[in-house]
Structure 1
């Protein structure tokens, strides 16, 4: 089974790193990208088969927490926070969970983590597979 993923992150380089990470996982397919929460919300009606959203928190226009407030009404996709500010147990991670995030994974080295795959790849893969029931 292949699971459809949308990446929501304002940093174009981070979207590229996540895209590359997903390409190396045969069971996940990048089907959409957005640079902020509003752009992602606007795309949801066109993505009925979306399984998973990887979501940053700090973004212009609409941040990840505001996106969470609306997204659960518009999609059945699981949502995993992937942010440098959602360290496990942090207040922002707790707020994200309270607003409906299904999983939380920290970017390993800041906003644009070029080392995502090498430092967090196993954890992110495990969380993604658990969320989609793989």
Structure 2
């Protein structure tokens, strides 16, 4: 049974790149996507069996950090930040961890990283697997 994943990113192209990446991993399946944190929170009740949420930070309506403040009360899913602004050791990465992010992977080339798989695919696969297997 594949792990169930929600993608939360305001950039439609980035959601497409991430979902294409997930299709290369037989043990993961994208079951939901959202364009901002509020949209994602609304969808959590329909997807109570999520295993993993891949979450951007910079989004309109509700950003990823605000989503984290609410999500940990509503889901058991592991949450991995996937953002261009969560560079390892940065204040935003630390804040995301403080608010409950289980993992952090930096988008390699900005908001819409067309080279996601080539540049950080191995790292993202490793982080995703370690999070869901630790659950």
TM-score with structure 1 setting the length: 0.99
CA distance in 1, matches of 2:27, 2:122: 14
| Aligned pairs (5 A) from 1:37-76 | 37-76=37-76
CA distance in 1, matches of 2:100, 2:115: 27
CA distance in 2, matches of 1:111, 1:48: 28
CA distance in 2, matches of 1:126, 1:82: 13
**Residue aligning to 1:95:** 95
Give structure 2 stretches of 5+ with no counterpart.
none
**1:49 to partner: Cα distance:** 1.1
Give structure 1 stretches of 5+ with no counterpart.
none
**1:55 to partner: Cα distance:** 0.1
TM-score with structure 2 setting the length: 0.98
**1:48 to partner: Cα distance:** 1.4
**Residue aligning to 1:17:** 17
Residue correspondences, number: 134
**4+ residue runs of structure 1 moved beyond 2 angstroms?**
none
